[in-house]
Amino acid sequence: MNYFLFALLLLTVRNSHAQEEPVIFEPGVISNGGVFGLTISPDSKTALWVKSNGKRDTLKIMESQKKGSKWTTPVVASFSTADGKWKDIDPIFSPDGKTLLFQSDRRVDGMPDRKGFDIWAVKKEKNGWSTAYHLGNIINSDSSESYASMSNNGNIYFMKNKDGNSDIYMSANIDGRYQIPQNIGAPINTLDRESNPFISPDEDYIIYFSSAPGGYGETDLYISFKNGNGWSAPRNLGKPVNSKLSEFCPFVHAKEKRLYYSKQSKKGDKTTEDIYSVPFDVQHYKQDK
């Protein structure tokens, strides 16, 4: 085999994962036209996601366990709300699987006027989940915080809706205490909407959605790599991950090497949203970055 053919074959292999068509995750069991925001434990045995019924008037976190090759019938997670008393969204496991972050508009002690979403967490216990606990009023504020994900060192990246604009922020974990969140700035944040940041365990790349012009749909997924003290120019994940629909809620499962994310379409007053997955090789996106 000559060098040119070998190089072409190598390029094809490297790009094969990126070209595979995304598939709906567990249709009929988990994906049913009214769900988004999946996370899966590092051991691939526990899945949690948001049940929206497509209308988002009720938002609750659902849970399923994997038994053999099948997922069990979903139930409302013990820390969420079965009766819709409050809204819970965006569960994401920490890299070690011991903590689950999520956001809720439930009442915060001492903050009777707070109406937006705050970042909460639960700990994984032997027989289920701990009581949900609030992450405090340094990382949280009267602005709405959502889609929080954690790196190995405990730093948390999330969206903050401030002055009508959504940007991505980071709160550093120093000696177990969360610091005042910092806007991570350009080139990731723009004058358009940036949200739903998934930070890699080693904090070396971030995947998020943006509504910036030049994408395929209303919102697309982008990736940026840590570059010294800043971030590289964002790169659109491209087709077939992105489409004319809205893509959001990215989550990369390191062991499975899969990207899970949600797609939403609207037709009249009907909203359909489901969870998709596709093989994911971050090295593909490092090429020519």
Any idea where the domains of the chain sit in the sequence?
Answer: 34-286
Q: Give the integer Cα–Cα distance in Å for 150 and 93.
A: 8
Answer whether 0.85 is exceeded by the pTM: yes
> What does the pLDDT profile of the chain (289 residues) look like in tens digits?
443 333 333 333 444 444 699 999 999 999 999 999 999 999 999 999 999 988 888 899 999 999 999 999 999 999 999 998 999 999 999 999 999 999 999 999 999 888 899 999 999 999 899 999 999 999 999 999 999 999 999 999 999 987 778 999 999 999 999 999 999 999 999 999 999 999 999 999 999 999 999 999 999 999 999 998 899 999 999 999 999 999 999 999 999 999 999 999 988 888 999 999 999 999 989 865 4
CB within 8 Å of 129: residues ≥ 6 apart: 77, 78, 79, 100, 122, 123
- What residue spans of the chain are helical by DSSP H? 3-19, 282-286
Contacts made by residues 201-208, CB under 8 angstroms, sequence distance 24+: 201/95, 201/151, 201/152, 201/254, 202/151, 202/152, 203/151, 203/152, 203/153, 203/155, 205/282, 205/285, 206/157, 206/168, 206/231, 207/237, 207/250, 207/252, 207/259, 208/168, 208/250
Give ∠ CA 258-190-206 in degrees, rounded to 5: 25
Tokens for 169, please give them: 């922020």
- Please choose, from the candidates 226, 236, 178, the residue with its C-alpha nearest in 3D space to the C-alpha of residue 206: 226
For domain 34-286, the CATH superfamily is TolB, C-terminal domain (2.120.10.30)
SS3 content of the chain, % helix, strand, coil (to 5): 10, 45, 45
Q: Give the integer Cα–Cα distance in Å for 272 and 179.
A: 37
- What pLDDT is recorded for position 163? 72
